[in-house]
Amino acid sequence: MEGLEDLGCFYEDFSLRTWSQGRSYCQSIGGDLAVLDASADFLRVVDYYAAQTAVSSIWIGVYNTVWLSGRTPSSSEWYGSEPNGSDLCVDLRNNYGFLLGDTGCTSIKMSLCKAP
């Protein structure tokens, strides 16, 4: 994505899928749901989406409060009181300022993939 090339090769899948379907799709193209290795890198992605008006919510590679890499997000990566429920899947949502929020895994959203 423009301005984020140094963070890796991102791919936005605009098809609406559940979190698991989104992950499967990302894996089918040789990547996975996007994982950011550092808080500062993730906050750059947040800023990228904050400048987008067409995106409402997008799946990302956080499950059960942990990035798929095993990294625990810092509190600054979560929106407000998130994570706040028993929901295991995590998205970036426009009305949360594109910070992390846990939500139901069967919602359908676009997906942010990243190549390894």
Can you give the binding site for Ca ion, defined by CB under 5 A? 82, 84-85, 101-102
Question: What minimum distance in Å lies between the beta carbon of 2 and Ca ion?
Answer: 29
Which of residues 22 and 101 has its CB atom nearest to Ca ion in the complex?
101
* Residue 104, number of CB atoms within 10 A of its CB: 13
Residue number with the shortest CB distance to Ca ion? 102
Which of residues 39 and 107 has its CB atom nearest to Ca ion in the complex?
107
Question: What minimum distance in Å lies between the beta carbon of 115 and Ca ion?
Answer: 28
- Contact (CB, 8 A) for 36 and 45: yes
Which of residues 77 and 102 has its CB atom nearest to Ca ion in the complex?
102
DSSP for 76-112 reads GGB-TT-S-SS--EEEEEGGGTT-EEEE-TTS-EEEE
Q: Token pair for residue 74?
A: 């810092």
Question: What minimum distance in Å lies between the beta carbon of 105 and Ca ion?
Answer: 12
Question: What minimum distance in Å lies between the beta carbon of 85 and Ca ion?
Answer: 5
Which of residues 3 and 104 has its CB atom nearest to Ca ion in the complex?
104
Residue 114 β-bridge partners: 10, 32
Which among 7, 42, 26, 44 is positioned nearest to 110, based on CA atoms?
26
